[in-house]
Structure 1
Amino acid sequence: MEFSISNTGYTIKLTANFINRDLNVAITGGDVPHIGTVTTYDKEREQKEVVRFPSHDGRFHKDDVLADRLLEKIKDGLPGNCVITTGVHVDYITTEQIHASFGMVDELGEKLKSWISIQDNFEDPIYHKKG
């Protein structure tokens, strides 16, 4: 499944697919899409972890801010775990474009939430019996 939204001169794209009950999401866009951060969510323990990759000048990517917004919208409806890779880079980004990204991801999150709610083709694993 893929959604995209454009605002203030750039586009953010959200791609999502289920791996059985677990959701794999990529949020990319701008002039140089990349993987800046990886956010994982353990549904059972309700625990989030983030890995930020190095950026430039000793800094680290901050794309997880967008992943956090998305996760807040969808986590209650998730049937399993979730991994979100995020990387949006806009050359010479302005404050207006940064603020626009929040609303863009919120809108994409609503679309994703609706899509998640109609998914039900999941399999339960079978394990060996002891003894």
Structure 2
Amino acid sequence: MIHLQKESGRIRLVLDAYFMGEDIVVLISGGDLPHLGTITAGARLEPMQTVQLQTHKEFYITEEIAVRLRKEFAGNFAICCGAHLDDATKEEIRVLTDMAIQLGKELIGELKHERL
């Protein structure tokens, strides 16, 4: 398992990645109400698929990380994300999105050292 986290102001995000053989499941959660908002799955040579639950918009995060991950990671992957901030400002949403994508980049860096 790989565990990463970031904090900025009232925003706290956690990324946990679990290996399933040669595959990986990535969970990104945080804010006031962690939840399952969006799931993006794929593999290096397969088209990505995203499931957006209700009106959640975390696909901005999962798809961005998935594009990067599929270039570097040989196995299948699923990225699940859900983070909610009560009364979030546009700036807080931008910061949260940037932090989550940065966590994805850090995950890829960790994978390069561990498994790639």
Tell me the TM-score normalised to structure 1 length: 0.81
How large is the RMSD of aligned CA atoms in angstroms? Answer: 1.5
Deviation at 1:118, TM superposition (A): 2.2
Higher strand share: 2
Alignment pair present for 1:38 and 2:39:
yes
Report the counterpart of residue 13 of structure 1 in structure 2. 14
Report the counterpart of residue 27 of structure 1 in structure 2. 28
Report the counterpart of residue 112 of structure 1 in structure 2. 107
Partner Cα separation in structure 2 for residue 74 and residue 42 of structure 1: 9
Residues 31-90 of structure 1, C-alpha deviations (whole Å, 9 max, x = no match) = 000001111113222x11111112xxxxx1111111122223322111211101110010
Give 1:49's aligned amino acid.
Q
- Which structure is larger by alpha-carbon Rg, 1 or 2? 1
Partner Cα separation in structure 2 for residue 17 and residue 116 of structure 1: 11
Partner Cα separation in structure 2 for residue 107 and residue 30 of structure 1: 16
Residues 10-29 of structure 1, C-alpha deviations (whole Å, 9 max, x = no match) = 11111101111111000100
Partner Cα separation in structure 2 for residue 61 and residue 102 of structure 1: 13
Aligned-pair identity (%): 26
Unpaired segments ≥5 residues, structure 2: none
Report the counterpart of residue 99 of structure 1 in structure 2. 94
Report the counterpart of residue 53 of structure 2 in structure 1. 53
Q: Secondary structure at the match of 1:112?
A: helix
Give 1:76's aligned amino acid.
K
Q: Secondary structure at the match of 1:118?
A: helix
Partner Cα separation in structure 2 for residue 97 and residue 18 of structure 1: 31
Unpaired segments ≥5 residues, structure 1: 55-59, 122-131
Tell me the TM-score normalised to structure 2 length: 0.90
Aligned length: 115
CA contact (8 A) 2:5 2:15 kept: yes
Report the counterpart of residue 66 of structure 2 in structure 1. 71
Report the counterpart of residue 84 of structure 2 in structure 1. 89
CA contact (8 A) 2:40 2:66 kept: no
